[in-house]
């Protein structure tokens, strides 16, 4: 009798991609396409989204979520089921869109199931959805043996969202245009941060619209932005005290207008010894800069004891990468 033939197990590739902090975000006027010109200085941090891409027959792309580790965002008071409820599990998911774009560009006939582990706060101004998309691109590129180089993946990424190319790249970088035109920026050593998410997300388009309203009301003259040279020098110096003096975010006043409780969180972090505090991107996640690793851990503990969810991270962190065993 011939031995039974068992079908090969489906192949799975696991990839992680980082969330980000905008250590500088200068916003210019609205463009004809509805976006705004920006000059952003990105810093990838050690809070990672994870995507496991598994081969499936046919050309379909599906997505599901797996709970995050208890020590990460995604399972605490601001995460868990509430996070899942705010993440589309259909063709509107950025990871699905990224996989579909790669499938089209590389003329792939195979399909994939994408399992997401979300640790970056949803709608938190830290590019979690963009990190999902970047991870899906890298995972499916390997899963389907597409063989696309980083430059080709970055072009596809730019069509998915402004922050997706940076999630591929990681490290520190200047982003121009709508943030997709990247130039790596030198950064010395590690900068240590404490992140505080809040339960309700802020819509990025709504925050930009509020900034436009504030500027129009003030009669502000809005010009094309340029990267902040002081922030670039501070990153290169490796000195957190120098960086603390120059952190900036043009979207912060709009985020505070739409979510006034953020002002109290910023003040609380400063009272507990943060070198600097700012809203991350369009918010509502708040980032506090510490003087070092131990200082950041102490600050996170202090804020947690005072009723906030707080988590210490560092940056720059690496970009999207395949995990061992994939």
- pLDDT tens digits for range 247-258: 999 999 999 999
Using an 8 Å Cβ cutoff, are 123 and 201 in contact?
yes
Residue 325 binned pLDDT confidence (cut-offs 50, 70, 90)? confident
Structure tokens at 301: 């503990």
Please give the class, per CATH, of domain 191-315. Answer: alpha beta
Lowest-confidence range among 37-41, 74-78, 231-235, 299-303?
74-78
Which residue ranges make up each domain of the chain?
Answer: 12-185, 191-315
For the chain, the C-alpha Rg in angstroms (whole number) is: 20
Of the listed ranges 88-92, 153-157, 261-265, 276-280, the one predicted with least confidence: 88-92
pLDDT of residue 4: 42
- In angstroms, the CA 253 to CA 238 distance is 28
Higher pLDDT among residues 204 and 19, named by residue: 19
What's the rounded mean pLDDT across residues 274-298?
A: 96
Which pLDDT does position 260 carry in this prediction? 95
Q: Are 196 and 79 in contact (CB under 8 A)?
A: no
Instruction: Determine the Cα–Cα distance for residues 93 and 103; give it in Å rounded to an integer.
Output: 15
Phi and psi (nearest 5°) for 237? -70, -30
Residues designated catalytic: 20, 163
**C-alpha span between 148 and 99 (Å, rounded):** 13
Question: What ranges in the chain are assigned the alpha helix state H?
Answer: 81-85, 94-105, 128-143, 150-160, 164-169, 204-218, 229-237, 240-244, 252-258, 261-271, 293-305
pLDDT digits 0-9 by tens, 127-164: 999 999 999 999 999 999 999 999 999 999 999 999 99
Position 283 pLDDT exceeds 60: yes
Is the distance from CB of 323 to CB of 117 less than 8 angstroms?
no
Query: Two tokens at 122?
Result: 């949803």
Give the class (CATH, top level) of 12-185.
Answer: alpha beta
The mean per-residue pLDDT over the stretch 26-47 comes to 95
What tokens were used for 69? Answer: 């580790």
Mean pLDDT across the stretch 77-95? 70
Distance spanning both ends of the chain, measured CA to CA: 35
Tell me the whole-structure pTM to 2 decimals.
0.91
């Amino acid at each position: 009798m011939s031995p039974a033939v068992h079908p090969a197990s489906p192949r799975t590739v696991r990839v992680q991609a980082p969330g980000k902090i905008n250590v500088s975000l200068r916003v210019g006027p609205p463009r004809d396409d509805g976006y705004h010109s920006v000059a952003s200085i990105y810093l990838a941090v050690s809070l990672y989204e994870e995507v496991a891409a598994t081969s499936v027959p046919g050309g379909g792309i599906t997505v599901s979520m797996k709970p995050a580790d208890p020590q990460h965002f995604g399972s605490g008071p601001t995460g868990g089921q509430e996070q899942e409820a705010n993440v589309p599990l259909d063709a509107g998911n950025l990871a699905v869109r990224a996989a579909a774009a790669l499938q089209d560009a590389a003329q792939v006939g195979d399909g994939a199931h994408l399992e997401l582990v979300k640790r970056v706060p949803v709608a938190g101004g830290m590019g979690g959805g963009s990190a999902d998309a970047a991870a899906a691109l890298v995972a499916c590129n390997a899963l389907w043996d597409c063989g696309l180089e980083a430059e080709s993946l970055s072009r596809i990424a730019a069509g998915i969202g402004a922050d997706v190319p940076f999630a591929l790249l990681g490290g520190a970088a200047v982003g121009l245009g709508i943030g997709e035109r990247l130039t790596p920026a030198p950064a010395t050593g590690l900068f240590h941060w404490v992140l505080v998410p809040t339960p309700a997300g802020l819509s990025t388009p709504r925050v930009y619209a509020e900034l436009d309203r504030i500027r129009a009301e003030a009669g502000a003259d809005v010009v094309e932005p340029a990267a902040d040279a002081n922030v670039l020098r501070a990153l290169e110096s490796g000195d957190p005290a120098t960086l603390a003096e120059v952190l900036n975010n043009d979207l912060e006043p709009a985020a505070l207008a739409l979510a006034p409780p953020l002002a109290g969180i910023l003040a609380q972090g400063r009272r507990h010894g943060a070198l600097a505090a700012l809203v991350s991107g369009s918010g509502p996640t708040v980032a506090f800069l510490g003087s070092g690793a131990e200082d950041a851990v102490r600050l996170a503990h202090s804020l947690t004891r005072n009723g906030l969810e707080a988590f210490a991270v560092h940056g720059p962190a690496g970009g999207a990468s395949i995990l061992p065993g994939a």
